[in-house]
Chain A
Amino acid sequence: MPKIEMPSGALVLLILRVLRSGALHGYAIAQRIHVLSSEVLHVEEGALYPALQRILLKGWVTSEWGISETNRKVRFYRLTPAGRKQLEAELSDYGRVHEAIQSVLRTA
């Protein structure tokens, strides 16, 4: 199956979304997206970390030290209140845009 490139805006949305249920480290974020998308979406390392840096800068997530499954000290990313608000806003935006596109696709 060919890999589907992810629009960068969507990646931010997905990262925020998978972090809603709790803090994750970088690899887990990529894995979670991969699994949840039924292995359709593949988050490249080269896209994930720049996006994470951007989100960190915006203050939507913070990082904290934690221990990984393999017993390594790694950074976990946690959604901040600002990030939660951003996620809600983006989700509703996305919902509206998605519906709009769908209605065009259905009727045109």
Chain B
Amino acid sequence: MPSAAFFRRLRYLLNRRRFDRELAGDMEFHREMAARAGSGHFGNTLRLREEAREAWGWTWIDRLSQDLRYAARMLRRSPGFTVAAVLMLALGIGVNVAAFGFFDLVFLRPMPVRDPDTLLRFHRRALQSYAFALPHPEMAFFRENSRTLSAVLALTPTRLAVEGEEKQLMANFVTANFFSELGATARLGRLLDPARDEAADAEPVVVLNPGFWQRHFGADPLVIGKTIRLNDKLATIVGVASSEFSGLSLDNPALWLPITQQPYFSNGSRLLTDFSANGSVRMWGRLRPGFAPRAAEAELRSLAAELRKQYPTGVWKNESLPSDPGGYAKSLLIADRSGTGTEGRDDLFPVFALLTTLGLLILAVACGNLGSLLLARGVAREREIAIRVAIGAGRGRLIRQLFTESLLMALLGCTAGLAVGYVVLRSLMLFTETPAWLNPAPDWRVMVFAIGMGFAAAILFGLTPALQAARPRHRASIVRQFLVGAQVAASCVLLIVAGLLGRALTHAVSANPGFEYQQVISIDLGLARHGYSPARAQAYLDTLQSRLRVLPGVESVSLALSPPLGTRSEGAGLSIDGRALNVQINRVDPQFFQTMKIPLLRGRNLMRGDSHAMVISESLARRAWPGQDPLGKKFTMGEDYTIVGIAGSARLVKLEDSDSVEVYFLIGTADLPAMSVLVRTSAPPEDVARSVASTTKALDPGTFPEVQLLKAGFRRKLRGAEASALTVSLLGVIAHLLACLGIVGVVAYAVSQRTKEIGIRMALGAQPGRILSLVLRQFSGPVIAGLLVGVGAAAGLSSLLRGQLYGISNLDPITYLAAIAMFIVTVAVAALLPARRALRVDPLRALRYE
């Protein structure tokens, strides 16, 4: 029976000492008897015993613990080296742990909700359209009729004016089953309850986010039952959610309210009944046990077709409802995209690809550095190793021993790296105001990843030096040169990428973005939320514009569906010559170009009644019709449009993406309730903003317009770019510093190794220049090769960054030249500093040495 044998074997492991003693006794007795019989010839007792013990199959444990003890002693004996090595590894592994931790949070780790795997997020798709939110009545129809979904959840985010708060706060209107379906518990009071809160006569209630509760109410435990004024309407506070509750959005809502009460807070809202895209909800479904996501999709598709018979304009032709796994943070990043044509490309992929590559590069530099250090140490330990060989250590055993030291070092580095990764991720998340439930603490996946990284690192930096040291006669400087080259290449890539990001940032701040934002105020009216019909919206907008125009300090007023530097965008995918273009659609009035100071380069402006005319940006004209005149050409986007004018390129929404191009249509009647107003001021916009706000509010006191400066939006946009530029620069500088330190180390080593030779040459009258070139020549090759490889790799890698560079080319020559120059100077300094020691060699001393 194998298990019985296994247990016997285990018994041997656990009682190793006793069994070993008994074996020794047996053999000693054997020996005595043999000596008595006169046939006294024995081998090495220890060796024989070891061989016998091998039958138990546990010798490897003994050897390993021996190696580990020895390795620990060696590391303790040179604390300086150990600390330096562990720090280097902690950095290299930590960066990767942070990057993987982010990936883990977004893609791999289920959100803290009940049964995350049966949760599906749905979006709409038809031949020419896509949207990540659905009209409420459509969602309600699915909820009534679906048999594959046990529950349907919906959410719509809105900003609400809260009494006592200066700014409007984010609120999520949710279906009342939201909390119970997600398995949430209340910290205080109760959460929403379908039976009570969705009834027709239900009183208005609100659940508080714990952060808001602490900030606004000072964590008052008696808050339950109190009322709070939201958009000037009273609501009763029924509970506070627990702080672990994630909800289903990344915008950290302060409040949760039943979606059925949305019209109460938003005067005249038709969210619950309207099919128009102006009021739509994000939808999730809970899969009934035994059904696959595909079954749910098929069912919803046929339900949509059925609903279309009743509402032919509300539901799209051939509408399907694809699903994504809803229990992962990735599904929340999508928010509310919508548009025509194919869906825009995924912005996340390049970011992750870049992060991964940068992380691995840093690890490569750290490992290369450590490898050189170990090589040099291997030389210093030659004596020790020679002695061990002399007393019978086999080569394999020696390599194993040295590699165990590296593994132990990697283990320490891995532990420290986990801490570094946590700190990095934590501080980045604090900086970018990520919701608190996204917990950066490493889970088992991150731990396994860190251990894997440590092991890979140990192989990278430890194996070659171990092989070298165990076979000292063939010590090749090739390995050292390769390590130098690899470090140089990796740090070169990091420097260039950091340079590009930094330059993109300065460019974004200083360069003309194609429009003028410093003196513009944008007003989000939210008329659609208040159920304005297009005709009422038209009247309202006409009055508002005429009132705003006469305010002191106002220069011009215009309308736009997607205000510049805002979060709302409408896109269309378009592929020209195989390159995907991000076409940003904006619907504007004729005053828009003047208000935003976007020059009309050719053709004419949009005019009233231009229902099939469009103005395109110069960047689109250049790409779509190179060398031709696009004026008068037809362009198909859902319908045919005629190009009447070409405006200057102005990346109003996607400031950072040089592949984004713009098209402008005249406002359609249906869009009127969703319009934002843009006001250009001649006086400083801060001064005018107050009168603009009060004028707007006075026109319909039931609305809650949000007034913002475009400047503020611009600053918000840049904050992310600042964070990434700063992080990458920091990493680049650290990696480069490491690489330079590595060069200092190997050059110093080369000098010390050749002291005698240098002494002889100096005694024979060699010039200082000759001596320097003698020392440095062997490194010029690897450095130049590393530089070339690094520049090439940076050129390739940076194409991932195209969309984030604010119009700087990813092959920007200034950045490359500056980075290379900085690189050459620092590497030269790093090499010359230790090389100078060669010039100070005293020939007499050097010759007497040894």
In the complex, whether B14 has a CB less than 8 A from a CB of chain A is no
User: When the two chains form the complex, which single residue of B27, B36, B56 contacts A57, counting CB atoms closer than 8 Å?
Assistant: B56
Interface status of B334 (Cβ within 8 A of chain A): no
Cα-based distance from A48 to B29 in the complex (angstroms): 14
* Bound Cα distance from A63 to B31, whole angstroms: 19
**Per-position 1/0 for B812-847, Cβ under 8 A of A:** 000000000000000000000000000000000000
Chain B binding surface, main DSSP class:
helix
On chain B, which size bracket covers the interface?
A: 20 to 34
Tally the A-B contacts, defined by beta carbons under 8 Å: 68
Complex contacts, A57 vs chain B, CB 8 Å: 5, 8-9, 12, 55-57
Q: Chain B residues near A48 (CB, 8 Å)?
A: 30
* CB within 8 Å for A27 and B33 given contacts A46-B43, A74-B25, A74-B26: yes
B19-49 near A? 1/0 per residue, CB < 8 Å: 0001101110111111011000011000011
CB distance from A24 to the nearest CB of B (A): 12
Least Cβ–Cβ distance between A4 and chain B, in angstroms: 16
CA distance A49 to B53 in the complex (A): 9
30 contacts between A and B (CB under 8 A): A25-B26, A26-B26, A26-B30, A27-B29, A27-B30, A31-B33, A31-B37, A45-B27, A45-B30, A45-B43, A48-B30, A49-B23, A49-B26, A49-B48, A49-B51, A50-B55, A51-B55, A52-B52, A53-B53, A53-B56, A57-B5, A57-B12, A57-B56, A58-B5, A59-B4, A68-B29, A72-B29, A72-B32, A75-B25, A75-B26
Report how far A45 CA is from B51 CA in the complex, Å: 11
> B33 touches which one: A51, A59, A63, A70 (CB < 8 A)?
A70
Contact across chains for B9 and A53 when beta carbons are under 8 A apart: no
| Alpha-carbon gap, A57 to B30, bound state (A) | 21
Residue interface mask A75-92, B partner, CB < 8 A = 1: 100000000000000000
A23 sits at the interface (CB 8 A): no
A54 at the interface (CB under 8 A from B): yes
Chain B residues with CB under 8 Å of A75's CB are 22, 25-26
Q: Quick check: is A30 within 8 A (CB to CB) of the other chain?
A: yes
Complex contact B29–A50 (CB within 8 A): no
A53: contacting residue among B23, B31, B37, B42, CB under 8 A: B23
Cα–Cα distance between A51 and B23 once the two chains are bound (Å): 12
The binding surface of chain A is classed by DSSP as: helix
Is the pair A50, B52 in contact by a Cβ cutoff of 8 Å?
A: yes
Residues on A with C-beta less than 8 A from B5 are 57-59
Q: Which chain A residues border B33 with CB–CB below 8 Å?
A: 27, 31, 70
Chain B residues with Cβ under 8 A from A59's Cβ? 4-5, 8
- Identify the closest chain A residue to B33 (Cβ): A27
The CA-CA distance from A106 to B4 in the complex, in Å, is 44
Residues of A within 8 A of B23 (CB): 49, 53
**Hey, which chain B residues are within 8 Å of A45, CB to CB?**
27, 30-31, 34, 42-43, 48
For residue B54, CB closer than 8 A to chain A, the reply is yes
Interface contact B25-A46, CB-CB below 8 Å: no
- B789: min CB distance to chain A, Å: 54
For window 1-57 of A, CB contacts with B under 8 Å fall at: 25-27, 30-31, 45-46, 48-54, 56-57
- Taking CB atoms, residues of chain B closer than 8 Å to A52 are 52
A98 CB to closest chain B CB, in angstroms? 27
In the complex the two chains form, what is the Cα distance from A43 to B26 in whole Å? Answer: 15
The answer for the CA separation of A70 and B32 in the assembled complex, in Å, is: 10
A26 with B51: CB separation less than 8 A: no
What's the Cα separation between A50 and B5 when bound, in Å?
A: 16
Instruction: Please judge, given known A-B contacts A26-B29, A74-B29, whether A53 and B55 are in contact too, CB under 8 Å.
Output: yes
> What CA separation (Å) do A48 and B22 show in the bound complex?
15
Residue ID in chain B nearest A48 by CB atoms: B30
